[in-house]
Amino acid sequence: MNRLIFILLVAAATVSAQTVPVPATYQYTYNTLTAQIASFDSAVRANWNGSPSPVIYAPQLETASAAKFTQLLGTSYYTNAVLPELEQLQALGAQGVNVHISFPILYQPFYSSNPSQYQQFVSFYQQLATDVHARGMKLIVSNVVDEASYTGQTNAGAVSGSTQLLQTILSALQGGGVTTLPIGAGTGTWLSNYLQFIQSFATTSVQFIDIHIFPINNSFLMNAITAADAAHAAGKQVAISEAWEYKENNNELGTMNLNQLCARDPFSFWAPVDTAFLSALADFANYENLALFSPFWSHYFSAYLDYNTYSSDPKITIDSETASQSARLIGAFTSTGLSWMNRILPAADTTTPGVPGASTAEIYPNGATLDWSATTDNVGVAAYNLYRNGQLITTTSLLTYFDQNLTPGETYSYTLHAFDASGNVSGLSAPLVV
């Protein structure tokens, strides 16, 4: 991950914060990261007048990433994973989502032995675009290319080679009729020659320069200010399409692989560091008038894991994603998610969601499937509480629930209300009597 080019196409129940003890093993790292973030934010605030800018906040929609490959093609996966994450991010104030659609998932020749599968992936992303835009949100498409591995162009890791590849991509897009969408390219702030990449890319027809921020050691985080200033000096807008702070010390740089670094992220004691990092970059986004800002590991907006329970878990990153998906299905958020929402919303959200319409039911001998339509909210609905005879039976972000073990001949009355991430609760729906 040391030389990358990033191409983006831009189209149209709460959890209270609490202090979690930091394990002694990570105390130094915790303190170091906290100090680095504070220094960066101080540097930004020293030159920023506090005025907001029209930044598009578009966290990564992880469940729709091309890395999921054939998992994306299941109907239940789209309903139970992709849509709940999309709705959760909207409920937290996101104005768009960032989706990684990398080569070769939409490269038709790749499917020569299974042509129908290509169309399935096309249909998946067409449906996703429809659902994103139906919510009034922007869809940002990221294509992250390791040039030497995927293109066979061994000189593409150099500034001149990467710029040549970028020119090829831009020509292909223009030849394909893609002429109205903002397109950007960029590099990571940890590279020793990041400025040369930026200055070279700025000579092309890209509309913005993209910055990725992961290691924040040494000057890597401060480099974001220099990178943005260089892009602006070249007449280009700036974006951050990926950012999440690596949990490593200066003396650990280059000693761990990506899996080892990511395995440190899921623990709940990191929440204050993640919150400070996102807040500092939101300040930076406003100060530099960024086109968009996309936090990377957005599943930590919904769930973390306990260090004492999971510190020796060999599949911790998988369990972390599973915990996040479970949290989304009940409209739960972490302190990091709620802090992020409060930072990016222009004002505190005090508006209650609309009253849900009455549910409908399909009756079975010992149960009933209840369905209802989504209601509206000024930011986004987090989930619904469903009541049977006045007693809460489930909290769900889905629009359906199967109530089982009912008694034949008995009468049941169902009502529901909606709530948002700020804790505002709608009135009860009209009852459905079954």
Q: What is the pLDDT of residues 266-324, one digit of tens each?
A: 999 999 999 999 999 999 999 999 999 999 999 999 999 999 999 999 999 999 999 99
**In a domain? residue 282:** yes
Q: At what angle do helices 335-344 and 271-287 cross, to 10 degrees?
A: 20
Q: Are residues 113 and 164 in the same domain?
A: yes
Question: Quick one: which H or E segment has residue 367?
Answer: strand 367-371
Instruction: Give pLDDT, residue 150.
Output: 56
- Looking at 344, 368, 391, which one is the last position of a domain? 344
Q: Are residues 340 and 365 in the same domain?
A: no
Indicate if 164 and 257 belong to the same structural domain: yes
Q: Find the helix or strand (DSSP H, E) in which 387 lies.
A: strand 381-388
Confidence tier at 9 by pLDDT (50, 70, 90): very low
| Residues 116 and 263 occupy one common structural domain | yes
173: exposed, middle or buried (Cβ count in 10 Å: 0-12, 13-18, 19+): middle
Which is nearest to 344 in space by CA: 42, 53, 14? 53
pLDDT (tens digit, 9 = 90+) per residue, 112-156?
A: 999 999 999 999 999 999 999 999 999 999 987 654 555 566 666
Q: Is residue 216 part of a domain?
A: yes
- Looking at residues 237-252, what average pLDDT do you find? 95
The structure tokens listed for 346 are: 């222009």
Classify residue 126 as exposed, middle or buried by CB count within 10 Å of its CB (0-12, 13-18, 19+).
exposed
Q: Domain tally for the chain?
A: 2
Residue 349 lies in a domain: no
Residue 374 domain boundaries: 360-433
Q: Are residues 325 and 385 in the same domain?
A: no
pLDDT band at 7 (very low <50, low <70, confident <90, very high): very low
Assess if residue 429 is contained within a domain. yes
Q: Does 319 lie in the same domain as 204?
A: yes
Does 372 lie in the same domain as 259? Answer: no
pLDDT tens figures, 60-81? 999 999 999 999 998 899 999 9
Secondary structure (DSSP) of 182-246: -EEEEEETTSTTHHHHHHHHTTSS-SEEEEEE---TTTTTTHHHHHHHHHHHTT-EEEEEEE---
Q: How many whole angstroms separate alpha carbon 6 and alpha carbon 147?
A: 10
Of 344, 378, 400, the domain-final residue: 344
Do 59 and 294 meet the contact criterion of CB atoms below 8 Å apart? yes
Q: Does residue 8 have a pLDDT over 80?
A: no
Is 351 domain-assigned? Answer: no
332 and 371 inside one domain:
no
Q: Which tens digit of pLDDT belongs to each residue from 176-196?
A: 998 888 999 999 999 999 999
* CA 297/CA 257 separation, integer angstroms: 17
| Residue 4, pLDDT score | 44
pLDDT of residue 2: 40
- Tell me if 250 is assigned to some domain: yes
Give the tokens for residue 141.
């498409």
Helices (H), 266-376: 271-287, 307-310, 316-328, 335-344
| 420 part of a folded domain | yes
> Which pLDDT score, from 0 to 100, does residue 144 have?
72
- Report the distance separating Cα 199 and Cα 278, nearest Å: 26
String of DSSP letters for 140-176: EEEEEE-HHHHH--GGGGSHHHHHHHHHHHHHHHHHT
| Token pair recorded at residue 360 | 């409908």
pLDDT at 302: 97
Rounded mean pLDDT of 7-36?
A: 74
Average pLDDT over residues 90-97: 97
Average pLDDT over residues 214-219: 95
CATH code of residue 74: 3.20.20
Phi, psi dihedral angles at 66 (to 5 degrees): -60, -20
d(CA 132, CA 97): 8
**181 and 256 co-located in one domain:** yes
Same domain? 409 vs 302: no
Q: 259 and 145 in one domain?
A: yes
Secondary structure class of 295 (helix, strand, coil)? strand
Going by pLDDT thresholds of 50, 70 and 90, the confidence category of residue 19 is confident
389 and 283 co-located in one domain: no
More confident residue, 164 or 59: 59
Give the pLDDT score at 152. Answer: 61
**pLDDT above 70 for 240:** yes
Q: Of the spans 153-157, 159-163, 248-252, which averages the highest pLDDT?
A: 248-252
CATH number of the structural domain spanning residue 401 = 2.60.40.10
Looking at 278, 309, 344, which one is the last position of a domain? 344
CA-CA distances (angstroms) from residue 124 to 31, 72, 217? 43, 7, 39
324: helix, coil or strand?
A: helix
Q: Answer whether residue 350 is part of any domain.
A: no
